[in-house]
Structure 1
Amino acid sequence: MGLFTGLLTLPLAPVRGVAWIAERVHEEANREFADPVVIRQRLEEVQESRESGEITEEEAADLEEEYVRRLMEAGPPSGGLEV
């Protein structure tokens, strides 16, 4: 049955491959979205953009609010608190 099933489902292999890749990309995006280190880097980038005049105070405040919300949802970093 294994050989027969394998031959019958062979045309579906590209679909399964694409689905697997999509799952990996989704997992990585979620991991990066909630990674406290990445979020802190984004907050620093917002500060630098504000100081250089690339974005307005209002835009910076909106971005900071979003990043802080994501940071709070991510919870404390694993391994303890930073001092």
Structure 2
Amino acid sequence: MDILWGLLTLPYAPVRGLTAVVKVIAREGESQQHNPVNIRRELEDLDQAAAAGDITPEERDRGQQQVLDRLTTPAGGAGHTRPEAAGRRQPPAGRETGRRRTAGRRADQRGRGE
């Protein structure tokens, strides 16, 4: 059965090979991005640029924070960012959402003896 399946899917072999190469490249890029040596080099570059006057101290601080955030995030967690880092909007102050609303109702019910 494996031989038959191999023959039937032979036209897709280049696609399978390309996806394998892309996965290897992505894994290597991620390891380079989280490599402490590269992060230290980036921090030194930011300090040198600030000392030379190429960037402002605020820009240096922002750059350092981005580099350090990348260091502290897990290597496989590229999609897991904090809400403030991802730019997500917080719900308006007077508006409750999902779980909090339900928990508030339960607390009210317990307080009224229901």
TM class, shorter-chain normalised?
Answer: 0.7 to 0.9
Q: Which residue of 1 aligns with 2:32?
A: 32
Aligned match of 1:7: 7
RMSD: 1.8
Amino acid in structure 1 at the alignment position of 2:24: R
Uncovered stretches (5+) of structure 1, i.e. residues with no partner: 75-83
1:45 aligns with 2:45: yes
Matched to 1:28, the amino acid is E
Aligned to 2:65: 65
Rounded Cα–Cα distance in structure 2 between residues aligned with 1:17 and 1:54:
44
With structure 2 as the length reference, what TM-score do the two structures score?
A: 0.56
Aligned-residue offset at 1:37? 1.0
TM-score, length-scaled by structure 1: 0.73
Structure with the greater alpha carbon radius of gyration: 2
Alignment match, 1:18: 18
| Cα offset, 1:73, TM superposition | 4.2
Percent identity between the aligned chains? 35
1:40-81 Cα distance to aligned partner (Å, 9 max, x none): 01101111111222222211110111222333446xxxxxxx
Q: Which has the higher contact order (CA 8 A, sep 6+)?
A: 1
Structure-2 separation of matches of 1:60 and 1:11: 51
For residue 5 of structure 1, what is the amino acid of its counterpart? W
